Amino acid sequence: MLTSLSSLFRTSPLLISFSLLAGHVAASETSLPAPVKALAEKGIEIHSQFSAPGGLTGFGASAQGREMAVYLTPDGEHAIVGTLMDSAGNDLTAPQLDEHVRAPLEAQTWQLLEDSHWIQDGDPQAPRVVYTFTDPNCPYCQQLWEAARPWVEAGEVQLRHIMVGILKAQSPAQAAALLGDDNPAEALKAHKLGEEVAPSAQPRDIEQQVLDNNHLFEELGLYATPTSAFQRRTRDGVIRIERIEGMPSQQRLEEMMGGAR
């Protein structure tokens, strides 16, 4: 069974652990078959090609954080977007999406987080890294900071606070003030311990860092602060990304921190 492109956009959930701005096409658009190239020109990102049954050729793709498979018909003249099922009702598309879309996009997401503008919280040598989008006026960010202290202070986890300004009018200026401080880590700690952050003019490059972080927050399709991301290893030894929006439950907090405190 193959679903249509329009129904896919209406019904497909966001399945990848961290939706992201996919920024490249695996093959040059000029080398893609004409129907697949036409989809690429409409904004669908084509990531890789794979073999499919029935004489079809599959392409792993995504659009606006939604993963999808594109199947080229044997005559090379038509492309269908959807889920391929066998006669027993088995989904043949999901494993291909996992290999050809989710895994590479998650690796790209992690790199985007590493390249963002964040404030170090905890030992830089701590083995576990958690990225968290933090607004200076977010009460749940405060709760997460407090809840994470046992792991951070034990040197087991380092939080990397990606500073955004989205909740209040003064949030961007306050985020910039923290990022632009002579000692951002100490400034953030003082703020978390109750010290007010005074909005103040910052150099243009510091203000741009907040704008870049806000843009990343939007491009990743996020809605709430804190939103935190961490890596986990599957039973097959593959590293994947987990995302937690808002203040996590105790169980999810321990998963994020790598174990009980």
Q: What is the DSSP string of 73-129?
A: -TTSS-EEES--B-TT--BSSHHHHIIIIIHHHHHHHHHHHHTS-EEEES-TT-SEE
- Residue-level pLDDT at 232: 87
* Maximum separation of any 2 CA atoms in the chain, in Å: 67
- Residue-level pLDDT at 18: 42
- Residue-level pLDDT at 4: 33
The pTM of this model reads 0.75
Beta strands 227-233 and 128-134, pairing class: antiparallel
For the chain, residues with pLDDT lower than 50 are 1-27
Interval 124-178: pLDDT, tens: 999 999 999 999 999 999 999 999 999 999 999 999 999 999 999 999 999 999 9
Cβ partners under 8 Å of residue 20, min gap 6:
65, 105, 106, 108, 109, 112, 219, 220, 221
**CB neighbours of residue 193 within 10 Å:** 9
Name the helix (H) or strand (E) containing 145. helix 139-153
- Residue-level pLDDT at 216: 96
**CB neighbours of residue 156 within 10 Å:** 17
**Phi, psi values for residue 227, rounded to 5°:** -120, 125
**CB neighbours of residue 126 within 10 Å:** 18
Q: At what angle do helices 204-219 and 171-179 cross, to 10 degrees?
A: 120
Name the helix (H) or strand (E) containing 192. helix 184-192
- Residue-level pLDDT at 23: 41
Contact assessment for residue 143 and residue 234, using Cβ atoms and an 8 Å cutoff: no
**CB neighbours of residue 25 within 10 Å:** 17
- Residue-level pLDDT at 65: 67
What are the chain's domains?
5-101 (3.10.450.70), 116-257 (3.40.30.10)
